[in-house]
Amino acid sequence: MATAGADGSRIARLPRALRGPAAAAQRVLAALGRLRSSPYVFEADGMATAWHSPFLADETWQARYDEMARDWFSGGVVDVRWRMWILTELARRMDGLGAFAEFGTNRGGCAYMMLATTQRSALHMFDTFAGIPDANLTDEERAAGFAGSWADTSVEHVRRRLGEWPERTRFWVGDVFETLQTADTGELALVHMDLNAAAATRRALQYALPRLRAGGLIVFDDYGFTGYEDQRAVVDAFFAGERDRPVALPTGQALLLKTA
């Protein structure tokens, strides 16, 4: 998951056990400040809104988010609750209708929240768990330093992080150009696309779309973010001329509904 506007460097220097509580306290202080100076109820991660933000009143969801955030961010805590709320609410609605697949898992934060807020669907995770491979990057992605980025993880770390749900998790470790040759997810109800790189995203769509059931959903994590234009161009080209096309969201995500 790409992050925008990271400002948690001081929190990042705290022990991991203190990062979640510190981030929660930071949000409370920020909210108090906004009461005096801002009309927004949420102002983070590249967006601001004065309208209803349901997670603010969902204490159970917020507790899970804080638990996840204690470990998820290695370079500074970022408030991505609106993006995460959209993903988990869609997962709740698709739970039990088919398997979930996540392309790009990194440290397992989104996987944790999807599993924690659902009860039935298995989650297939595709990642090198060692950073983005240099192969198949565009010139722009290579120049931007994509190769080797998002390497602050390991499959062992994510297995431990998702230890509550061993019967619901499946790890496909390696470059998707290799793992998708033999992967078997079965029918999919929800796909979370978060590979960041253009060619890998195209390959994942080639695999996932035929397996996505009618009424199934694809959530593109960083579709609208600056620096990911090559990935967005691939997604737009993949669905060009089709009835089912991604809808851009103000969070930077995009959502696709497969109608048939």
Alpha-carbon separation of residue 21 from 29, 93, 157 (angstroms): 12, 29, 21
Average pLDDT, the chain: 91
Grouping H, G, I as helix, E, B as strand and the rest as coil, residue 133 is coil
Residue 14 has pLDDT above 90, yes or no: no
Give the 3-state secondary structure percentages of the chain, helix then strand then coil, rounded to 5: 40, 15, 40
pLDDT tens for residues 32-90?
A: 555 557 899 999 999 999 999 999 999 999 999 999 998 887 666 789 999 999 999 99
Q: Give the separation between CA 239 and CA 245, rounded to whole angstroms.
A: 6
CATH second-level architecture of 82-257? 3-Layer(aba) Sandwich (3.40)
Q: How far apart are CA 131 and CA 149, in angstroms?
A: 5
* pLDDT over 90 (residue 25): no
Annotated domain spans of the chain:
9-79, 82-257
6 pLDDT band, cuts 50/70/90, is very low
pLDDT in tens, 177-233: 999 999 999 999 999 999 999 999 999 999 999 999 999 999 999 999 999 999 999
Q: Is the dihedral of CA 42, 45, 48, 54 positive or negative?
A: negative
Determine whether 99 is exposed, middle or buried from the number of CB atoms within 10 Å of its CB (0-12, 13-18, 19+). Answer: buried
pLDDT > 70: percent of the chain? 85
Q: 105 Cβ partners below 8 Å, 6+ apart? A: 111, 125, 126, 127, 129, 153, 158, 194
Q: 185: which 2 tokens? A: 């997810």
Query: With contact defined as beta carbons under 8 Å apart, do 98 and 188 qualify?
Result: yes
pLDDT tens digits along 244-256? 999 999 999 999 9
- On whether the CB atoms of residues 2 and 107 are closer than 8 A, the answer is no
Give the pLDDT of residue 75.
Answer: 65
What region does 105 belong to: left with phi over 0, alpha with psi -120 to 50, or beta? alpha
Taking only the tens place, the pLDDT of each residue in 96-124 is 999 999 999 999 999 999 999 999 999 99
| pLDDT beyond 80 at 17 | no
Give how far Cα 152 sits from Cα of 11, 56, 72, Å: 17, 30, 10
How deeply is 106 buried, as exposed, middle or buried, from its count of CB atoms within 10 A (0-12, 13-18, 19+)? Answer: buried
Q: What is the pLDDT of residue 8?
A: 47
